[in-house]
Amino acid sequence: MTLPTFTKEAPPSVFEDLFEIFYAPRKVFERRRETPAFGVALLVFVGLLVGLTLAFKGLSEPVIDAEFQRGMAKAMRQNPQLTQEQMLAGKAWVQKFQVFLVAGYALLAPLLLGLALWLVGKVMDSKADLEQAMMVATYAMFPRVLESILGAVQLLLLPDTAITSRYSTSFGIGRFLDPATTSDFVLGALGRVDLFTLWVTALLAIGMMVMGRLSAGRAAAVGAMMWVVGLAPLVPALFQGG
């Protein structure tokens, strides 16, 4: 009599995880709880954002122009000695190194987000270690890839006059605010009430519920605190009255 043989099913690949993170995040985090490697996912994230930046470089011109005009007006109010030539040189620098700036953001943002998530999680008695928090943060950033694609589609369809700030193609409150009459702090804060920012925040909460073995309530609190942490870059604008 021949005994049946059982073959162990191979675990899903990183690429399957990155696909499932959009519709079955808890399942992904549960699979990766004991093996929370995130290096490959991070490189994929960097590669995708850099690739999209190169592909849509021509389309992003209206956004760069709109942000430049806002920044130039503010800078010249604060420092009247600045010349338009200096500001134009700054814009040219940003355009020249745009790909490298995006690559730096894509590489560092998930790591800094993971560090913040780990620290915030400790406040709520999370059991997740730093590597697990980094993994959660890296996977949680992937909706930003979809956001970039949908933003590019809008830039293709909308007239240039409809683009008044980087929030003009967002999917939240910031889209409906006039950057000329709204302070930088209010614009940035309300700009975070956005489909993709909230999606990322929800993934962070789900990930910490699984990795940190938190209750749903504590995980939701972690998510809420992480949303508030995202306001940190706006603090200078608050004190400057912007």
List, in order, residues 6 or more apart from 181 with CB less than 8 Å away.
Answer: none
242: pLDDT confidence band, cut at 50, 70 and 90?
low
Q: What percent of the chain has pLDDT over 70?
A: 93
Q: How far apart are the first and last CA of the chain?
A: 81
Mean per-residue pLDDT for 110-137? 97
Mean per-residue pLDDT for 208-227? 97
Q: In whole angstroms, give the CA distance from residue 188 to residue 194.
A: 11
List, in order, residues 6 or more apart from 217 with CB less than 8 Å away.
Answer: none
**The pair of three-digit structure tokens given for residue 186, joined into one six-digit string:** 């209010």
Mean per-residue pLDDT for 43-48? 97
**Structure confidence at residue 19 (pLDDT):** 95
Average pLDDT, the chain: 90
**Structure confidence at residue 5 (pLDDT):** 52
DSSP string, 69-113: HHHHHHHHHH-TT--HHHHHHHHHHHHHTHHHHHHHHHHHHHHHH
Is pLDDT larger for residue 216 or for residue 235? Answer: 216
Q: In whole angstroms, give the CA distance from residue 177 to residue 196.
A: 18
